[in-house]
Structure 1
């Protein structure tokens, strides 16, 4: 089996000045990484692991097997790639700091809102406006539940659910993403004004999706899920889940690029909760920073997920705000650019406090030798 390489950022520092410049700005954001594990795996086992700082990375990459040298250079470059802003219609969304994506489900069986926003258009519009005013950079609109056991929806019905919500959100000045895996819904959503295609199947569910996404010119979100048919939560067969997710996202990125989607229009999502046990989710979350090596912005969708209930006496979805904020902060500490959440006001507030702390850390030279 071919050897595979993974470069995993291990530690963060307040800024490069704290360590005599021996740190790098992770993915062009507000997090500075100091130590990195350079990991080589073969046949499901780790055969080498070396921890280095940026000053030693060239030597570490030079010691890799010859066939891994180019991949090492690509991953090291990916970890340091500063992603340009996304131009989403009339709105510009910067990716040099965490941004909040608000969730708007217009389904009858959403695990978090129970269909309130499909049954009551006025409540849907009020909720969308509240998220927009609270600071959501993007509103992500979906017309099909993707929770385990949810029934598939006919694409015509899905389009009928999402188009009015998209048109309303665009009219109030919001940037909108469409959460769907069906090309006909993607097309209807883009015509209605959606600026991002967010596909939980990573453009695998329908062979026409990749062609449409490429032709549309819109940014796309490619998410990891263990299944690729009707059941996105199909029984997985992981060797080491954090690395398996990395390999999947790498292949999804490369497939999208080969299909005509520019890499700078690809966002990657590790798919928390999709075909993953509690232990799997925790492993993926603790390796978030590693996925920057793929050279694309990252999206984290962990809000109100089942794992929070599992870690907090099985509290229902509407009482998982604290856990959701903890995971959002974990994502920010890992340099994640997009946080997909239900609780927009609370997450934006947490992000603003986090950002203030990061800004202060970069300008605080107290305690450093002058």
Structure 2
């Protein structure tokens, strides 16, 4: 089995992850058909310079019940469909407490899974969430497991000791100063707690995609980041749900939603390819491509992205669909935007000049 880690850290090619989900009625058919088509072609339709390295399996996306990644892995084991692809389960904290998360990780390790994406997770739609840990706590748990494995191994075989290669999410698609800075500060915290790569949330704003690269450079976060591309079409509910806020972390503006309704499938394919070409030109390490279960369409999009290349700039207006009120941390040349002045702090508890109680260290802004 190939490894995402090798693709991101040791390959000069642009890494591609296919994000797959089960079909109606929890059917495995869409996932199996996709992988069977890839195996039959031997990857010959993947364009040069692109490395289709792995598939990713979300865990109840949007808080709606779906096949769990552990069950998908169990059904794919022994089929040979994963022989040349890494398997990346999304691990969220919404459904499990700390002990259960640890058990899931132990099970993945025993099955040879190396790459995981650590997420807080979406609030369940029809159940009560757990959230004993969130993404940072899960990354800390994974790091402790990695450390214990190293301590058990001898000094001569450290490179052979299985280690989780853990990733995390970050959203550059926040349009107020507090929410955007909170995302970036938490990204740094995730890196400090063991994240080895990042995948962005979903959005269509090339200025924000560039902003994330500027911030990572300024913060000296030398970690691979993959852009999240979702194949938006007018034939399913995803764009409407993203627009209404029912798919957390995914943003479709009113303008983009209206445009989609008047477009053809070919125009949908073109926008997706343009976004992939954009991420590649911005020196992202790769992309996470979701919303596609037809392998032929998957390859057509990648081939078109390879053709567009640096020419994505010609289509930049098609990839900039922000809300009316916007905040950008940098201009297009990387210059910092002046931040809003901070509130005057209280000099001491109970001071005559202090009209409100002083906040505790655990403010709402720090608990995301």
TM-superposed CA distance for 1:138, in Å, is 2.0
Alpha carbons of 1:103 and 1:167: their partners in 2 closer, same or farther (altered >3 Å)? farther
User: Normalization by structure 1: what TM-score?
Assistant: 0.51
Question: Would you say 1:290 and 2:214 are equivalent positions?
Answer: yes
How far the C-alpha of 1:304 sits from its partner, in A, is 1.7
Distance 2:308 2:89 in 1: 28
1:223 Cα deviation after fit = 0.1
C-alpha spacing 1:92/1:333, structure 2 compared with 1 (3 Å): closer
Partner of 1:245: 183
CA change 1:125–1:241 in 2 (3 A) is same
Q: Compared with structure 1, are the counterparts of its residues 97 and 272 closer, same or farther at alpha carbon in structure 2 (3 Å cutoff)?
A: same
Cα distance in 2 for partners of 1:210, 1:130 equals: 40
Residue 190 of structure 1, CA deviation: 3.9
Aligned to 1:348: 302
- Pair 1:286–1:198, CA change in 2 (3 A): same
Q: Which runs of 5+ in 2 are unaligned?
A: 94-100, 122-132, 147-162, 233-238, 240-251, 312-368
Change in 2 beyond 3 A, CA 1:167/1:356: farther
Change (3 A) 1:137 1:153: closer
Give deviations 1:245-290, integer Å, cap 9, x for gaps: 3222112212x1xxxx3xxx611223125xxxx7xx5652242422
Q: How does 1:1-370 map to 2 (within 5 A)?
A: 88=3, 92=7, 94-106=10-22, 108=24, 118-119=28-29, 122-127=32-37, 129=39, 133=43, 134-135=45-46, 136-147=51-62, 150-152=63-65, 157-165=68-76, 168=79, 171-181=82-92, 183=101, 184-201=103-120, 204-205=134-135, 207-208=137-138, 210-212=140-142, 214-216=144-146, 217-224=163-170, 238-239=176-177, 242-254=180-192, 256=193, 261=194, 266-273=196-203, 283-293=207-217, 294-305=221-232, 306=239, 307=252, 310=257, 312-314=259-261, 320-341=268-289, 342=292, 343-350=297-304, 352-353=306-307
Deviation at 1:159, TM superposition (A): 1.8
CA distance in 2, matches of 1:192, 1:125: 19
For residues 349 and 295 of structure 1, the distance between their equivalents in structure 2, rounded to whole angstroms, comes to: 29
Offset at residue 336 of structure 1 (A): 0.5
CA contact (8 A) 1:99 1:338 kept: yes
Deviations 1:82-115 (CA, angstroms, capped at 9, x unpaired): xxxxx82896554544221122223648xxxxx6
CA contact (8 A) 1:144 1:158 kept: yes
Higher strand content, 1 or 2: 1
Comparing 338-347 with 168-177, which one deviates more in the overlay? Answer: 168-177
Say which SS state the counterpart of residue 16 (structure 2) adopts. Answer: strand
TM-score by length of 2: 0.51
Paired position in structure 2 for 1:366:
none
Distance in 1 (CA, whole Å) between partners of 2:77 and 2:90 is 11
Does the CA contact (< 8 Å) of 2:168 and 2:190 recur in 1? yes
Q: Does structure 2 retain, via aligned residues, the 8 Å contact 1:131–1:344? A: no
SS of residue matched to 2:61: coil
Greater gyration radius:
2
Shift of 1:122: 4.6
CA distance in 2: counterparts of 1:176 and 1:106, whole angstroms: 15
Task: Work out the number of aligned pairs and report it.
Answer: 240
Contact 2:54-2:86 at 8 Å conserved across structures: yes
> Could you list the runs of 5+ residues in structure 1 that have no partner in the other structure?
1-86, 110-114, 227-232, 358-370
- Quick check: 1:89–1:175 contact (8 Å CA) kept in 2? yes
Change beyond 3 A, Cα 1:140–1:187: farther
